[in-house]
Amino acid sequence: MEAITTTGTFFDGISARPRPVTLRLTFRLEIIGEDVARDWSLLDLRASDAAPPLMRINHAQGPESVEFADAPFAEALTARCPDLNRTESGGGIARLVLWSIAAGVSVLLTAIYGVPAASGLLAPLVPQAIEAQLGRSVDGQIATLLDDPPLCNEAAARAVLDRMTARLSEGMALPMTPQVSVRRHKVANALALPGGRVILLSDIIDKARNGDELAGILAHEFGHVAARDPMRSVITAGGTSFLLSLVLGDLTGSTVLVTVGQAAISAGYSRDAERAADAYAVAAVKRAGGDGAALAAILERITKADDEKPDATSFLRSHPFTAERAGRIRALAGEKPAGPGLLSEAEWRTLQGICPKPVKIDGGKAKPGGGKDKTAPTEEL
C-alpha cells in the first residue's frame, strides 16, 4: 500500500501544548514528532468537527488527537478508514466526560487538602542549603512583585538593627540565623521567607514609636521562622501551582516561582501559627530586656489606622487582630520591665533613619542613591 505523508499537530488531551508531527498513512496511521511516537489502527480513528481545510482526527480509545490541513491526505485517509465518520455511543462519551470531571476534582481536592497536609511533614525535612537557595529566589521574586523598592542600609542604623536582631535571636533556638533586610515602601508590613530571611518594609518602622514595638514585629516574624511556617507556605503554594498547572497545561518554572512569590506576600497563617508566633515574640523581646506587650500596642494602633482607611493594606491584612489577641499578648508579657527598653532613645532615633528620605533635585527627580518611593499592594506572610 502506497505511503502518504504530511505534517500536522498532535495534542495529548492532557495539556494544551501543540506538538508538530509528521503523519504517515499506510494501512495504519503513524505519528512521529520530537517526543511523540504513535502507531494508530485505522479502525480507531474518528473525525471531529473542524472548518475545512483543517481536519481533526481523534483516537477512539483515548483523548489524543491530530490536526492537519492537507486535502489529498484527508481524501486518502477517508478512503482507507471505514469508521472515520462513525458516531460513538452516548455511553462512551458520557463515561469519558465523567472520568475527566472525576480526575479534575481529585486534583483540586489534592491541592486544597492533600498539599497543605503534606507541607507540614515536608518542611522540617528540607535541607538548610536548599531552603536558603529557595529563600534567595523568593526574595528576588518579591522585590519584583513590589516594583523593586530600594534596600535601606544607612550604616549606623544598620548596625543598630543588627544588634537588635542578635539580641532577639540569642537563646531562642532558631533553625538558622535570621537575615533581616529593610526596603523603602509606603506599606507597613513585615515578611518572613524561607531560609530565615525577613523583610521589613520601611513604613512599619515609621509607625513604630519605640524600639520595643519594632522588636515585637521583628520577633513575631522570627517566630514564624522558628516554626518553619514560610517553608510550609511555599511548599503549599508551589505544590498547588504545580497541580493546577498540570490541569491547565501551563507547567513552567517561572509560573510556579511567581505563584510562590505571591504566596509569600499574601498568604496568611492559621490561628494556631499566629498564637505561636505571638508567644515567641513576647518571649524573645522579654529575654532581650524589652517590653513584650509593645507588640499589642503597635498592632492595636495599626488596626485603628486600617479602620479609618478601609482600603489600607498592612501587617494585619493576613493577621486578623482582635482584642482577645491583644489581651493574650499582654498576659504573656506581664509587668513592663524597668529601664529604657531594648533600645535607648538615641539608638531608636538612629534606627529610624535607616531609610534616608531621597533628596529631590532636577525637577523632582530623586538624587542618585536616594531611591524612589514605590508602592504596591501587599499583605504580610
72-120 per-position pLDDT tens digit = 999 999 888 877 877 654 445 555 555 555 545 554 444 444 444 554 5
The predicted pLDDT at position 129 comes to: 80
Mean pLDDT across the chain, nearest whole number? 78
Cα–Cα distance for residue pair 42/59, rounded to 1 Å:
9
Instruction: State whether 126 and 69 are in the same domain.
Output: no
Which residues touch 66 (CB under 8 Å, ≥6 apart)? 8, 9, 10, 11, 21, 23, 31, 56, 57
| pLDDT attached to residue 164 | 96
Question: What pLDDT is stored for residue 254 in this prediction?
Answer: 47
Is 102 among the domain residues? no
Task: Kindly state the helix (H) or strand (E) to which residue 40 belongs, with its residue range.
Answer: strand 37-41
pLDDT of residue 84: 85
Domain match, 267 and 321 both: yes
Is pLDDT above 60 for 26? Answer: yes
Do 51 and 114 sit in the same domain of this protein? no
Q: What is the pLDDT of residues 41-79, one digit of tens each?
A: 998 899 888 888 899 999 988 889 999 999 999 999 988
Residue appearing with cell numbers 499574601: 266
Q: Which CATH number belongs to the domain containing residue 69 in this structure?
A: 2.30.29.30
In a domain, 323, yes or no: yes
Same domain, 69 and 135: no
How far apart, in whole angstroms, are the C-alpha atoms of residue 116 and residue 121?
9
The answer to whether residues 355 and 202 touch, using CB atoms and an 8 Å cutoff, is yes
Statement to judge: residues 233 and 312 lie in one domain? yes
Residue 88 maps to a domain: no
Residue 269 above 80 pLDDT?
no
Decide which of 59, 80, 101 is a domain's last residue. Answer: 80
With respect to residue 103, please indicate whether it lies within any of the assigned structural domains.
no
- DSSP summary character for residue 44: G
Query: Distance between CA atoms of 360 and 122, rounded to whole angstroms?
Result: 49
Q: Is residue 67 part of a domain?
A: yes
Strand order across the beta sheet in which 197-201 lies: 179-183, 197-201, 190-192
Q: Indicate whether 378 belongs to any domain.
A: no
Do both 72 and 115 map to the same domain?
no
Q: Are residues 187 and 74 in the same domain?
A: no
Q: Does position 158 have pLDDT exceeding 80, yes or no?
A: yes
Specify whether the CB–CB gap between 316 and 299 falls below 8 A: yes
Grid cell digits, residue 378: 501587599
pLDDT, tens digit (0-9, with 9 covering 90-100), for 233-259: 777 765 545 444 444 444 444 444 544
Q: How far apart are CA 305 and CA 314, in angstroms?
A: 10
Q: Are residues 142 and 213 in the same domain?
A: yes
Rounded Cα distance between 12 and 170, Å, is 56
**89 domain residue, yes or no:** no
Q: Which domain holds residue 177?
A: 109-366
Task: Please check whether residue 172 lies inside any domain of the structure.
Answer: yes
In this predicted structure, what is the pLDDT of residue 306? 56
Q: What is the DSSP string of 102-139?
A: HHHHHHHHIIIIIHHHHHHHHGGGS-HHHHHHHHHHHH
* Predicted TM-score of the model (pTM): 0.59
Q: Please indicate, yes or no, whether residues 256 and 357 belong to a single structural domain of this protein.
A: yes
* Counted domains in the chain: 2
